[in-house]
Amino acid sequence: MLDLEVVPERSLGNEQWEFTLGMPLAQAVAILQKHCRIIKNVQVLYSEQSPLSHDLILNLTQDGIKLLFDAFNQRLKVIEVYDLTKVKLKYCGVHFNSQAIAPTIEQIDQSFGATHPGVYNSAEQLFHLNFRGLSFSFQLDSWTEAPKYEPNFAHGLASLQIPHGATVKRMYIYSGNSLQDTKAPMMPLSCFLGNVYAESVDVLRDGTGPSGLRLRLLAAGCGPGVLADAKMRVFERAVYFGDSCQDVLSMLGSPHKVFYKSEDKMKIHSPSPHKQVPSKCNDYFFNYFTLGVDILFDANTHKVKKFVLHTNYPGHYNFNIYHRCEFKIPLAIKKENAGGQTEICTTYSKWDSIQELLGHPVEKPVVLHRSSSPNNTNPFGSTFCFGLQRMIFEVMQNNHIASVTLYGPPRPGAHLRTAELP
């Protein structure tokens, strides 16, 4: 049985690990993977058709704990303990829930002190006792007790008295004063772990199509002096097609991983694949997982030729490999009377709305089947790739965008120069 410390408005954890409000989904999953011998039977709950309409939930079924992540920013919003019989809980080092100590109203009062009167919810038949960043829900024993605690009864004073011996049914840790209005806080400095995160990524474009990326980055940097508190640093960087490998390293730092392409499965869709001379070296990607961005370099020139932006929707094959890239892409509208107008496509845009904006049918998609090996099947099904204005939009079956690949302008005589290389 887990023995965990409750910190209101902040976290639930022990000396080895801690689930902190504002923590990115990937870090919580990494904790669960690291301690998989202790924390077992974890479910991932999400809405397949409308992933933005419901929170993303990690349900620790063996321990009676749910971690609720905001559907948009994918940071931890609420920690819910829904079965207190499966876990030991303490506050300031003193247990208020264990096999020997029942979490009664008297015990909660003794451990946490005074607070505002409890609020009775007749629909749930639960009493809610609220502290800042912490709520307890008490179950009433029977329907006969319920009418006494209606807010209108005895001018509402009855709600001051929660029945003696009532035990906690659920506990919630969240940010702010209200569980209903709570939002996932900014990522705490303790969660940066030396990484750089992208607050937003703007796609820059010229007359023909995308020209590069402008990234607004977040890092935990220290102020002057050894004992100075760490502070959040916000800074902007730009990378462009044609930038060298060294340019990108100086702008974004070292990638988390370098991946060398072994083959190009999309080459068959180019105008004359048989004329392209096979390269003696492989193009390579810089994978920036916490930015949600991949950058492809040409094997011969070592210059940027492609960017890939990932949206990290649940139900996609690459889910939880990348953090969500909060991108904005200006699209040129080719409707009549548009007059060179542009519309913005974001991480949350749906493909049918983009097609509607463009005002013309897009060519038939290429169907993409992903699997780890030829014998394995992908449980999430195929995705569809649409080409548009030097970009490829990978679209999931629920109409959300899984990734966007940006291509640089074609280089004149590129094939000729490649052929002449020794």
Best CA proximity match to 6, nearest among 190, 185, 175, 172: 172
> Which residue's entry shows tokens 């969500």?
324
Domain boundaries, the chain: 2-174, 192-407
Average pLDDT across each block of 10 residues of the chain; the chain has 422 residues. List them in order. Answer: 97 97 97 96 96 97 98 98 97 96 92 82 84 91 52 45 80 95 95 94 92 96 54 93 97 96 64 59 95 96 97 95 97 70 92 84 83 72 90 95 93 44 38
Give strand pairing partners of 259: 285
Q: What's the pLDDT score for residue 143? A: 44
DSSP 166: -
Claim: this prediction has a pTM higher than 0.75: yes
Who contacts 379 (Cβ-Cβ below 8 Å, separation ≥6)? none
C-alpha 183: how far from chain center: 14
Q: What's the pLDDT score for residue 157? A: 41
Q: What's the pLDDT score for residue 263? A: 65
At 321, give phi and psi (nearest 5°).
-80, -40
> Which residue's entry shows tokens 């060179």?
340
Task: Report the C-alpha gap between 392 and 209 in whole angstroms.
Answer: 12
Q: Are 283 and 372 in contact (CB under 8 A)?
A: no
CB atoms within 10 A of CB 99: 9
Strand, helix or coil at 107?
helix
CA torsion, ordered 65, 191, 111, 126, to nearest 10 deg: -40
Strand duo 197-205 + 327-332: pairing:
parallel
Q: Are 168 and 134 in contact (CB under 8 A)?
A: no
Is domain 2-174 annotated with CATH 2.60.460?
yes
Q: What's the pLDDT score for residue 142? A: 52
Q: What's the pLDDT score for residue 416? A: 38
CB atoms within 10 A of CB 317: 18
